[in-house]
Structure 1
Amino acid sequence: MATGETIVQTDGGPEAAYVPDDAPGPGRLSAWTTRRWLRVGVSVALAVLAALGALGIWALDRSTSLTDQLVDQRSPALVNAIRLEAALVNQETGVRGYGLSGQRQFLDPYTQGLTDERTALDRLRPLVQGDARARADLDGVVDAAAAWQGLIARPVAAAAAKPGEPVPLAIARADEGRAAFDRVRDALTGQQEHLRQARITAGTQLDAAVRLRNSVFTAIAVVIVLLAVLVFEGLRRGINGPLERLGTEVRQVTRGRFDRPITATGPADLRRLGRDVEAMRRRLAEELSFAERARELLDEQSAELKRSNAELEQFAYVASHDLQEPLRKVSSFTQLLQRRYGDQLDERADQYIAFAVDGANRMQTLINDLLAFSRVGRVHNQQSTVDLERIADATEEALSVALEESGARVTRDPLPTVVGDTTQLGMLWQNLISNAVKFRHPEREPRIHVGARRDGDLWRFSVTDSGIGIDPEFAEKVFVIFQRLHTRDAYPGNGIGLAMCKKIVEFHGGAIAIDPEYGPGTRIAFTLPAQQAEAESETGAESETETGPAAADADGATREPRP
């Protein structure tokens, strides 16, 4: 376990939770995550907004209540009090006019006044129901009016009089009537003054409530703006800022600055994210450092391997070249010894001399093959356009005797033109065809087919025979130099042919392998880079011209075997 880490067993099961040692303790604000900050912030904001909303509703309700009181109660009460006064004044005017003139038409204002009085009282009583003072004032007005009406209005209106002459009862009670109606006027004046003061008080309260309402809603708007600013600033400092810093540092790491540490800031979950990214950066830096050291070591080993291979190739070339002369001397003098003294020695001596001659010849062949193998890629390295049709013709011409003796029949697809070394590709073709002839099956007629097809930027070739075949377990071994699957008595050779083929194909940028699924017989498949399409069309036209009617045409017909 890395230092700076703690494994904590959870209550829910055997799973272990990763807790950094530098994690803050529980209950501290630094341990709050982004979700918790957002949850608390939203809760506080909602609580503040709820309180402000309640205060605003109270202020609005108060101003509405005072407005309703002023519009629906105080002002109508004052208006109806004035209407009550006018009705009573009309009654007094009508009664007084009738009492002085005795004419009944003067009682019309009185009669209308009674109706207006009842109407005003019906409207005024509900308006003053909730105000004890207003109710007392109304009762006083009603009592005073009733006293005047009982003393003067109704008796005078009911009294008979001669037209044009005063009513005696009116003259007799003139002073009392005047005093009684003065009391009515005083009651009406007090009532109206009290209602007017109540209306003024309600208006003042309404103005104060409107100002309070406006102040409350202004405060609500200011608090909302402050909350928005606080939320924006909190998000910027607590989330956006740490994320931007983390993103900037991560982008620097992605540009290759693996030595730049990543600082973890912000809420607890963002700090954990930063620490995880920092741990990943350290791991990447360690891996990169290890990979760099491994690459340097690999470069050193590669350089050493190249140097060693160059020395080995130079040694093989020099050794094989320098061994040619003494080996020729041994072979030549052994053969001279056999020819000059063969009839003078016994049969065992002749056998020993034959062994020496055969060993020298085999050694000569082995050195020649090793010399040819070491020259691949060094001596013959002239890259040019190579017509594989001509290479195949030359190969079959060179192997004509072996083909005729074995009865092998060779067919092939139209072969393209590639870029490579003519000599090496000739060696490749000759080794593959000669191997197919050499390892023919004794009970099957030798058949050899050379296939070719285009696959993107590659040409895929195959040499298929009906020979003895190769077991899949030896598919890789046959390409190793000096590796043989049969004794020299069964099949001659030094085990270098397919190794040379592999080296030639890989030198030209291709790959070679045994097809393990083919049978009976052997199929060797290899690839070579394809030339440009123009060169291929020229090759096809040139091949068709040179090979004549026996050549394969574009539909894939194979060539006739060489005679």
Structure 2
Amino acid sequence: MVLLVVAGTVVGARLLGRTADVTDQLADRLQPARTQTYRLQAALVSQESGVRGYAITADRQFLEPYARGKRDEARAAAQLRALIGDQPRLMADLKAVQREAADWRRAYADPLVDEVTPGEPRAIAEANAERGKEVFDQIRTVWAAQNADLAQAVADGKAELDSSRTVRTVILGAMVAVFLLAGVALAFLVRALVARPLEALRVSSRQVARGDFDHVITVDGPADLRAVAADVEGMRQQIVEELGASRRQRDALTQQADELDAQAVELRRSNAELEQFAYVASHDLQEPLRKVASFCQLLEKRYADTLDDRAKQYIDFAVDGAKRMQVLINDLLTFSRVGRLNDARVPVDLDQALTKALANLDTSVRDTGALIERPEGLPEIVGDPTLLTMLWQNLVGNAVKFHHPERTPRIQITCEEDESSGTWSFSVTDNGIGIPEEFAEKVFVIFQRLHGRDAYGGTGIGLALCKKIVEHHGGHIWIDSGYAGGARLCFTLPSDADADADPDVAADTAEDTVSRTEEKALT
């Protein structure tokens, strides 16, 4: 059977190759040759018409078809030579046509053109016209032979193609029949040697699949089938081992889940105590600070005449420190309450939030002469209006505060929607003093300052608060380090009204920030 397959394959390949050659001959050479033959004949007819028209009218414009026909004749003949150069009979036809055409031009067309005086039409002598017709009819006779030979070549090619296809079909049919017979024989053989052992393996495997993992799989039969049965048995043993490990892991996970639930309850209790502590601290810490500031001011007022400049300076230091401590406590309370006390989830028009923030910053904007460029029609998202107003106020306020002393502050706010990620992308760009690239992450840490208090006021909580607000709403905030004309802060907010913010991320960020702050304070 192998020899039959090999022989059939070789013969089939040769037939396919011959079929492809004949097809290429018909499609790529003979059919284009017929087209070029028609063009050649049309070019000769165009020459004959042009000569006759010029002879009758003496108008030189009739010579244009004659000249164009000669050019077309040359191109068509060149194409034909390239297509049928390997077929002597067709090449002989082409040479005969060209020879008759040259004779017609030499004996009739060119002399007739030379006899005509441009602009003086005259009738063509009947004898001359008859002679021209006879010469051109000779060309037509050669045409007929050329067309007949081309048609015969095409017919021969089609006949050979049909013959090759018929033989190919017969051989392929015979091969298919042989394959079918061999397949039937193999089927009986496989059924006798393999099917019964496979059925036994299937029954054993199904028994294991139904839950009887202690059932041992053994099969008699060919060596390959026994090897498969051994592999299946190995898989059964591995499944039994992994099932036991999975059960043990499930018990451990159940225990861990119970422990996590208990820790979550403890964490909620701890958070509640932390909020209570923050509330108490806001009163218990601020009241002594107010008293310190008040009594220092009374001391200065009452004993102003007896205090020297150094004592007055000390009192000013104490009052200023108490006030800064009050501001710091208020900022810390605001920072700790983001996502805890302020957790409204309502549609917020960011346009209105920005307008309110700019109104709060009106004094500083006027004092610095800042120019603010804002987009028209900021989007509406779901969030907390107070926190989002605070976000705009801190970002724009920083851009105003950290302006370059030699430039008028210019602040540009942009907004773009990213449909692929379902977010709005915002940026606040200024032409101020900028933020060095090495501090692009540190500025979002609470109490992280890049400048002394003498140069720029504040507590160093602003950008940390912005980060917490953005992450509370499910967004992300960063500094564009590639911008060199000042500072550019970018942030995203979800555009989907049903998008859930991730308060855990904000809480983790806050706890991490506060822990780093405590470490700084201890050192």
User: What TM-score results when the alignment is normalised by the length of structure 2?
Assistant: 0.51
Give the letter for the 2:472 counterpart.
F
Which residue of the partner structure matches residue 177 of structure 1? none
Give the letter for the 2:307 counterpart.
L
Which residue of the partner structure matches residue 276 of structure 2? 314
2:442 aligned with 1:477, yes or no? Answer: yes
Runs (4+) of structure 1 exceeding 6 A deviation are 224-227
State the shift of 1:432 in Å: 0.8
Where does 1:331-410 land on structure 2 (aligned, <5 Å)? Answer: 331-410=293-372
Which residue of the partner structure matches residue 455 of structure 1? 418
Change (3 A) 1:385 1:268: closer
**1:342 counterpart SS class:** coil
Change (3 A) 1:480 1:305: farther
Which residue of the partner structure matches residue 458 of structure 2? 493
State the shift of 1:357 in Å: 0.8
Which residue of the partner structure matches residue 158 of structure 2? none
Aligned equivalent of 1:426, options 365, 386, 389: 389
Give the letter for the 1:405 counterpart.
D
Change (3 A) 1:263 1:312: farther
2:474 aligned with 1:509, yes or no? Answer: yes
Change (3 A) 1:477 1:279: farther
Change (3 A) 1:225 1:453: closer
Which residue of the partner structure matches residue 417 of structure 1? 380
State the shift of 1:313 in Å: 3.0
**2:457 counterpart SS class:** coil
State the shift of 1:527 in Å: 2.1
Aligned 8 A contact 2:213 2:236 in 1: no
State the shift of 1:430 in Å: 0.5
Aligned equivalent of 1:465, options 430, 447, 463: 430
2-side partners of 1:396 and 1:512: how far apart? Answer: 20
Which residue of the partner structure matches residue 277 of structure 1? 239
Aligned 8 A contact 1:320 1:370 in 2: no
Deviation string 1:453-475 (CA, Å, 9 cap, x unpaired) is: 12233222222222233334433
1-side partners of 2:246 and 2:482: how far apart? Answer: 44
1-side partners of 2:307 and 2:470: how far apart? Answer: 51
1-side partners of 2:382 and 2:397: how far apart? Answer: 23
Give the letter for the 2:390 counterpart.
M
State the shift of 1:424 in Å: 1.4
State the shift of 1:404 in Å: 2.3
Change (3 A) 1:312 1:532: closer
Where does 1:483-562 land on structure 2 (aligned, <5 Å)? Answer: 483-530=448-495
Give the letter for the 2:312 counterpart.
D
Change (3 A) 1:452 1:284: farther
Change (3 A) 1:243 1:522: farther
User: What TM-score results when the alignment is normalised by the length of structure 1?
Assistant: 0.48
Change (3 A) 1:441 1:272: same
Aligned 8 A contact 1:446 1:467 in 2: yes
Which residue of the partner structure matches residue 325 of structure 1? 287
Give the letter for the 1:372 counterpart.
T
Change (3 A) 1:482 1:230: same
Change (3 A) 1:316 1:232: same
Give the letter for the 2:330 counterpart.
N
State the shift of 1:508 in Å: 2.1
Deviation string 1:64-97 (CA, Å, 9 cap, x unpaired) is: xxxxxxxxxxxxxxxxxxxxxxxxxxxxxxxxxx
**How many residues are matched?**
299
Aligned equivalent of 1:438, options 401, 405, 409: 401
State the shift of 1:288 in Å: 4.7
**1:350 counterpart SS class:** helix
Which residue of the partner structure matches residue 82 of structure 1? none
Aligned 8 A contact 1:511 1:527 in 2: yes
Q: CA RMSD in A?
A: 3.1
2-side partners of 1:386 and 1:489: how far apart? Answer: 37
1-side partners of 2:189 and 2:400: how far apart? Answer: 96
Aligned 8 A contact 1:460 1:526 in 2: yes
Give the letter for the 1:419 counterpart.
V
Larger displacement relative to structure 2 (390-399 or 352-361): 390-399
State the shift of 1:493 in Å: 1.0
1-side partners of 2:426 and 2:471: how far apart? Answer: 14
Give the letter for the 1:416 counterpart.
P
Change (3 A) 1:334 1:226: closer
Deviation string 1:202-228 (CA, Å, 9 cap, x unpaired) is: xxxxxxxxxxxxxxxxxxxxxx99996
Aligned 8 A contact 2:428 2:490 in 1: yes
State the shift of 1:263 in Å: 5.2
2:222 aligned with 1:265, yes or no? Answer: no
Identity %: 53
